[in-house]
Amino acid sequence: VDGAAAWCDVLRSAREETCTDIARMALDDALITISERWGTGLESLRWGDAHQATHDHPVLGEVPVLKYFVNIRQSTSGGDHTLMRGRTSGEDPEPFHNVHGAGYRGVYDFDDPNSSVFVIATGQSGHFLSRHYDDLGQLWRRGEYIPMSLDEGLARAAAAGVTRLVP
């Protein structure tokens, strides 16, 4: 449109490339990279195998063996330019790993605060042996939320107990 195809020509080359030529070369490069890394079975490839959110434990995340239990990896549907945005590292060995994204998402209803919702990327607990260490991850990955209430009675209704901190 309006001569925009001129941007596809590589001026330093002798031949005049078209946008179709550039697209074919980009596809060829992508297929070579994919086959080198994941094999040639394109039908078995999954976006989420390469695009994963990385939630590394700040203390134990680099400890051999323990890192397999404390670091959380989950496939993501988003990328750098999508609604479920997750900034990819762009660096080897995992250039598509999401290394920056929304660890907390909240939608607040100011007219009815008890209709507000939220989700966090991992879970309520920071202790990797807790069943709540990664219990919200699937909701976060799917873009779903859980209700949030400011009603103290409702919050205590399902409580297993009350912990009081006193001086």
Q: What is the mean pLDDT of each run of 10 residues along the chain (167 residues)?
A: 86 89 94 89 86 89 94 83 77 85 89 92 88 91 88 83 91
- Give the distance, in angstroms, between the CA of residue 155 and the centroid of all CA atoms in the same chain: 29
Look up the pTM and report it. Answer: 0.69
Domain match, 36 and 93 both: no
Alpha-helical regions (H) of 39-102: 47-50, 67-70
Pairing of strands 72-75, 52-55: antiparallel
Q: What is the pLDDT of residue 159?
A: 84
Domain housing 17: 4-44
Q: What is the pLDDT of residue 83?
A: 67
Alpha-carbon torsion (73, 76, 79, 80), positive or negative: negative
Domain annotation covers residue 68? yes
Q: What is the pLDDT of residue 63?
A: 95
Domain match, 37 and 62 both: no
Domain annotation covers residue 107? yes
Domain match, 101 and 60 both: yes
Domain match, 153 and 78 both: yes
Q: Return phi, psi of residue 160, to 5°.
A: -85, -15
Domain annotation covers residue 52? yes
